[in-house]
Chain A
Amino acid sequence: MIVKLIKSRGMRRFSRNRLAMFSLAVIIVYFLTAIAVMLGAVSRDDTKERVGPNRLPGFLEPIGAEKRYDFDKWWVSELTNVFERAARENARAGGDPRAVLDEFALAERTIADGSYEDLKPAFDAMTEAWHELDDVFAEQLDLDDEAFAIRDEIKELQAEGEDVADLQAELEEVEALLAELAPRAEALYQQVEANIEKLLPMPSGFAGLVYSLRTMLGTDSKGASIAAQAVYSIKIAFQVGFVTALVAVLIGTISGAAAAYFGGWVDHAVLWVVSTLSSIPYLVLLAVFVYAFQAPALAEWFNNPERPALALVPLYAAFGLTFWIGTCRVVRGEVLKIKELEYVQAATALGFGRFYILLRHIIPNTAHLMFINFSLLFIGAIKSEVILTFLGLGVKGQPSWGIMISHGADGVTNFFFWEVGAATVFMFVLVLAFNIVSDALQDAFDPKHV
């Protein structure tokens, strides 16, 4: 059947659609990434591991002076912490300070080679420069405050029409001092950063590439890599999309086909369930299903950190039990048409059983609908997963685009946009590609266009 599908006219029409083929390539890239994540290329620990300071800016995100101070402060305090422990270990008879240094690692980034004594001078230099920088920075802040106060005063006095020449002179003085401090502060920053680099060198080679990829989009509020989370979420999205679409298409096809073919009370029952479910706002329905799985007896199973594989089952169930409605309707309509066709009558005349006819002669002829519905439900499920997770009802304890968006929302206004941006872009590209492909499939396989 698959060979026939690939050779079919619809498939040829589909492959002539360049945009669709490009989108298909995009989906394949996503799919391979999801497989790679499943095989362990990005593990769940990778998405939680600290790779740098909290909210480290990523690609294209600006660093202000204050942030630079904060980040350097973070590095210095981390290093001070380590080196103090190493110093204690060094003072102890028979201690191994290097082991303490080796314990410290930010993913691929580790403390430079060499003994504790070798590294000590660089650490001391960094500390010294940092203390000085601390003073300079404090002074800068004071002067900034002063300048700000003077400007305020000038404004007030000007409004009252009084002379402000004295204050202007004072402001100029303060600004001159600030200007004097700036190169000094810059020199100290560079000194501190050079020493940090000396103590914690950027890894080289493959590890360096991996580390720069991990920090490319910055870190979240716990210092974990945003890029790793965005990539890991592809797996979650594909899992949810694939399982959900499969379950929904199967339920929808079987119920729709049975309703149309058997008619009578089967049809009434299926239609009743379909119209009942579709009269309930769908997000509410999803939320109800998800809440139902939080009942203590079920939560023990499905919210158990020891069984991470089951954590998504509530989502699968909620989506699978609601998404089949559309497929059911479409398949029911198609089967109402097919069951009057003469090959079905011929099968009846040959005495075949009704289930046999349904499974062999009717359902295979709805394959194109299953195909198209699968791709539509796939993106539907991914979008809903993100929405529900954003609302706190979906994925828990694992990275997801929804979690990234809800966590990163407050950072966007501070030009810290990659947490929301990465999730949005990853999802947008996938959903767009899928939409284009399923549109093209629909055009290619719609019998009316053949």
Chain B
Amino acid sequence: MALLQVENLVKKFPVRGGILNRIQGYVHAVSGVSFEIPEGQTLGVVGESGCGKSTLGKTVIRLYEPTDGRIVLKGKDITALGPAEMMPFRRKMQIIFQDPYSSLNPRLTINGHIKEAVRFHNIVPPGSATDDYIDEVLQKVGLRPEAKNKYPHEFSGGQRQRIGIARALCVKPDFVVADEPVSALDVSIQAQVLNLLSDLKEQFGLTMMFISHDLKVVEHFCDRILVMYLGHVVEELEADDLDQQAQHPYTKALLGANPIDDPDDRRPLVVLQGDVPSPYNPPKGCPFVTRCPVATERCRQEMPRLETKSAGHRVACFEVE
């Protein structure tokens, strides 16, 4: 059974305005996303900026209240749990943030960050030393335990990201959302942090949702891939199939935008024109219709559903066979 099941998840942010501060409309950040993640697997979520990937990640772990849909963790529906009932599930679901600078409290030491989490969830059985556990966690993410009394501003970006990872993993979660964990880092540091994450994933047997806009990273790191556009899932497929099997024009465009490290390997380049439509006022039919090279009249009128093309491969497009 899947560790996490998400059914038809919707997240809309109200936009208020006018003299009476009435709701004027909604930003459709996530519109009816469904997926499931089997235990121990990693789901990659890709898409360009503003397509709702981060919102999806944060809604799944209930940092944002879902507008509609269902989130089921280990067979338990957690969609509408109150703060108290949610408490045991908070420990099971953690998040690693994108920005290593704003994700740590500048007034707390590293020790302070981890200790409060460990204490709060009683991770260490009473009687044994919390400090030893903290040292162990820090060592696991590749930090020297002696550094734990320093403040965040004394660390580099990569080190801070490791601290963020330590904070997420110190409560022994089952499921971790990694919200673009490497996109704010230098390329050399990116590789280190990615390797660290895949080591830890094996070590802790983590189930992950890995959000990124970098197809190469996702392909390397994940088992399955969800391609998002304007709050919708447009394609879902196995990571290994990405290069060969991708069918949705948007996925193809993303792949085409990726540089290839072989000068002889040429493929048709699809360059997308224009910008992503505003999620405040999304197109009526297919969300991708405004930029799609193969769009037809039908695409303008009707929203394509995700349809299974082969085992483990779903595409939302009228124009693919």
Separation of A316 and B98 alpha carbons in the complex (Å): 47
Would A343 and B93 be within 8 Å (CB), given that A350-B120, A350-B171, A360-B116 are in contact? no
Q: Which residue of B lies closest to A354 (CB)?
A: B83
Q: Could you mark each residue 343-361 of chain A with 1 if its beta carbon is under 8 Å from any beta carbon of chain B, else 0?
A: 1011111111100000011
How many Å from the CB of B182 to the closest CB on chain A? Answer: 15
Question: Cβ of A149 < 8 Å from any Cβ of B?
Answer: no
Contact B167–A351 (Cβ < 8 Å)? no
Contact B171–A343 (Cβ < 8 Å)? no
Separation of A348 and B117 alpha carbons in the complex (Å): 11
Separation of A352 and B112 alpha carbons in the complex (Å): 14
Query: Which residues of A sit under 8 angstroms from B58, Cβ to Cβ?
Result: 345
Contact A4–B151 (Cβ < 8 Å)? yes
Query: Which residues of A sit under 8 angstroms from B108, Cβ to Cβ?
Result: 360-361
Query: Which residues of A sit under 8 angstroms from B61, Cβ to Cβ?
Result: 349
How many Å from the CB of A34 to the closest CB on chain B? Answer: 31
How many Å from the CB of B159 to the closest CB on chain A? Answer: 16
Contact B102–A349 (Cβ < 8 Å)? no
Query: Which residues of A sit under 8 angstroms from B91, Cβ to Cβ?
Result: 350-351
Question: Cβ of A365 < 8 Å from any Cβ of B?
Answer: yes
Separation of A367 and B108 alpha carbons in the complex (Å): 13
Q: Is the interface of A mostly helix, strand, loop or mixed?
A: helix
Query: Which residues of B sit under 8 angstroms from A350, Cβ to Cβ?
Result: 90-91, 94, 116-117, 120-121, 167, 171
Q: Count CB-based A-B contacts (< 8 Å).
A: 60
Would A345 and B106 be within 8 Å (CB), given that A4-B151, A351-B86, A351-B121 are in contact? no
Contact A346–B103 (Cβ < 8 Å)? yes
Question: Cβ of A280 < 8 Å from any Cβ of B?
Answer: no
How many B residues touch A, CB cutoff 8 Å? 30
Question: Cβ of B95 < 8 Å from any Cβ of A?
Answer: yes
Q: Could you mark each residue 96-109 of chain B with 1 if its beta carbon is under 8 Å from any beta carbon of chain A, else 0?
A: 01110011111110
* CB-CB contacts below 8 Å: B69-116 with A: 83, 86-87, 90-91, 93-95, 97-99, 102-108, 116
Question: Cβ of B191 < 8 Å from any Cβ of A?
Answer: no
Separation of A145 and B135 alpha carbons in the complex (Å): 99
Question: Cβ of B164 < 8 Å from any Cβ of A?
Answer: yes
Would A343 and B103 be within 8 Å (CB), given that A349-B93, A350-B90 are in contact? yes
Give the contacting residue for B90; candidates A342, A351, A364; CB below 8 A: A351
Query: Which residues of B sit under 8 angstroms from A353, Cβ to Cβ?
Result: 83
Question: Cβ of B23 < 8 Å from any Cβ of A?
Answer: no
How many Å from the CB of A53 to the closest CB on chain B? Answer: 60
Question: Cβ of B63 < 8 Å from any Cβ of A?
Answer: yes
Contact B97–A365 (Cβ < 8 Å)? no
Question: Cβ of A341 < 8 Å from any Cβ of B?
Answer: yes
Q: Could you mark each residue 317-361 of chain A with 1 if its beta carbon is under 8 Å from any beta carbon of chain B, else 0?
A: 000000000000000000000000111011111111100000011
How many Å from the CB of B55 to the closest CB on chain A? Answer: 12
Would A365 and B105 be within 8 Å (CB), given that A4-B151, A351-B87, A351-B91 are in contact? yes
Query: Which residues of A sit under 8 angstroms from B98, Cβ to Cβ?
Result: 342
Contact A345–B107 (Cβ < 8 Å)? no
How many Å from the CB of A84 to the closest CB on chain B? Answer: 74
Q: Which residue of B lies closest to A343 (CB)?
A: B105
Among B63, B107, B151, B168, max chain A CB count under 10 A is at B107
Query: Which residues of B sit under 8 angstroms from A361, Cβ to Cβ?
Result: 105, 108
Question: Cβ of A1 < 8 Å from any Cβ of B?
Answer: yes
Query: Which residues of B sit under 8 angstroms from A349, Cβ to Cβ?
Result: 61, 63, 90, 93-95
Among A347, A349, A360, max chain B CB count under 10 A is at A349
How many Å from the CB of B295 to the closest CB on chain A? Answer: 37
Separation of A367 and B105 alpha carbons in the complex (Å): 13
Would A351 and B120 be within 8 Å (CB), given that A4-B151, A342-B97 are in contact? yes
Contact B116–A346 (Cβ < 8 Å)? no
Q: Could you mark each residue 1-30 of chain A with 1 if its beta carbon is under 8 Å from any beta carbon of chain B, else 0?
A: 100100000000000000000000000000
Q: Which residue of B lies closest to A352 (CB)?
A: B120
Q: Given A4-B151, A341-B103, 16 other A-B contacts at CB below 8 A?
A: A343-B103, A345-B97, A346-B97, A349-B93, A349-B94, A350-B90, A350-B91, A350-B94, A350-B116, A350-B120, A350-B121, A351-B86, A351-B120, A360-B108, A361-B108, A365-B107
**A-B CB contact pairs (8 Å), 7 listed:** A342-B103, A343-B102, A345-B63, A345-B95, A345-B97, A361-B108, A365-B106
In the complex, the 6 A-B pairs of residues with the closest C-beta atoms, listed nearest first: A351-B90, A342-B103, A342-B97, A364-B107, A343-B105, A341-B102
